[in-house]
Amino acid sequence: MTAYDRRLHAFRPDLADARLRGEVAAERFVAGTPARIVAEVADMLGEPRPDAGLNTQLLRGDDVIVFEETEGWAWVQAMRDGYVGYVSGGSLGPRAAEPTHLVSAPRSFLYPGPDLKLPRHGELSLGSSVTVTNFTETRGTLYALLTTGEAMIAGHLRPAGELSDDYVAVAEALLMTPYLWGGSTSFGIDCSGLVQLAMRMAGRDVLRDSDMQAATLGEPVEPGHDHSGLRRGDLVFWKGHVAIMTDERTMIHANGHTMLVSREGLADAIDRIGYLYGGPTGFRRP
C-alpha cells in the first residue's frame, strides 16, 4: 500500500474515502456526501472529542465532503485545501445557493435585520462566504441581505470573484490578531494559517501546514549571505514556522513570542529563534 498523509487523505482502519480504494487498507469505503459549513467558524479537530487538539478551522461557506456522521461529530475533508478531520455535525448544512460575496474586512457582524442598532447575531471572519439576495439602505448605511435572513454591512463584503492583488497587504491588515495554534481566522490565527488566509483572499488556495507550504509553495529563492536577495512576499521557513517578508529586512508572522500577528526584523527573528529551533530551513518565492 502507498503511504499517504492522513492530514490530506481520509482513511482509517474501519473507513476510507472511496477514491483511495486499492491504495489503502480499510474495512469499508464510502464516496462521501457534499456539505457546506454554516457555522461562523468550525474547528477541525484530530479526533472526535472536544478535548482533541485543534488542527485547523473552516469558515462559513467552505465546502466539505462528509464521510461519516456519528454522535454529534462529522468526519470531513475540506474541498479548498484537502484537510481531513472532525467538525461538529451542527456546523454543517446543505450546499444550497452558491456564495456570491466574501467578507473582505478583518471581521464583520451579522445582524437580524438591516440596522446596526439591532443586537448582533454573530461575527464572521475575513474570507467567509455568504450569499447576498439584495441590498438596502438604512440611515445612509448600505446593508447586504443574506439568504439566512441576516444582514451585514455591505462595505465589508466584495464579490466572490474580486481578488486582492497583494496578499501581503491582506496579512498586514491582520496585525495584532491574537495567536491561536491551529487558528485560521481573523479571530485567532497561527503562522501557516496567516499565509493561507492571506493568499486565499488573493485567489490562491494553498495547503494548510507550514511543512506542506515549504514543500509546495512557489520556488526556492537564494537569500544571499546578508538576505538582500529577499523581497516583499517571499516566505521564510523554520522548522514548524513560516513568516512573510514585507520588505527586504522586515517580516510579518503569527508567533508564540508576542502571541500576536506582528512585525519583526528578519535578523532579529533569526537571532531570537535560533537558540531554540535553529536557523531558517528555506526561503521560497510564491
Region 55-73: mean pLDDT is 98
Checking if the pLDDT of 25 tops 70, the result is: yes
Residue 45 contacts residue 22 (beta carbons within 8 Å):
no
Beta bridge partners of 41: 59
Residue 193 pLDDT > 80: yes
Q: Give buried/exposed letters for 33-48 (b at 16+ CB in 10 A, else e).
A: eebbbbbbbbbbbbeb
Is the pLDDT at 106 greater than 60? The verdict is yes
Q: Is 80 helix (H, G, I), strand (E, B) or coil?
A: coil
pLDDT surpassing 80 at residue 12 = yes
What is the pTM (predicted TM-score) of this model?
A: 0.97
Q: What are phi and psi of 20, to 5 degrees?
A: -100, 5
Q: Which three cell numbers stand for residue 11?
A: 482513511
Predicted pLDDT at 276? 84
Closest CA to 80 of 132, 42, 123: 42
Q: What is the mean pLDDT of residues 106-116?
A: 98
β-sheet bridge partners, residue 241: 238
What are the cell numbers at 119? 443586537
8 A C-beta contact, residue 38 and residue 63: no
Residue 32 to residue 66: CA distance in whole angstroms: 5
Domains and CATH numbers, the chain: 16-93 (2.30.30.40), 101-159 (2.30.30), 167-285 (3.90.1720.10)
Type of residue at 233: G
Grid coordinates 481578488 are at which residue? Answer: 163
CA atoms of 236 and 46, how far apart (whole Å): 27
DSSP-derived secondary structure letter, 54: E
Contacts of 150 (CB under 8 A, 6+ apart): 110, 111, 112, 121
Return the H-helix or E-strand segment holding 108. Answer: strand 107-110
Q: In sequence order, which residues have a C-beta less than 8 Å from that of residue 11 and are 6 or more positions away?
A: 4, 17, 20, 24, 26
- Residue 267 has phi, psi (to 5 degrees) of -60, -40
The fraction of the chain above a pLDDT of 90, given in percent, is 97
| Chain position carrying cell 503562522 | 191
Cα 20 from chain centre:
25
Pairing of strands 16-17, 29-30: parallel
Distances (CA, A) of 14 to 17, 26, 30: 11, 5, 11
pLDDT digits (tens, 9 = 90+) for 247-273: 999 999 999 999 999 999 999 999 999
Given this model, what pLDDT does residue 3 score?
Answer: 80
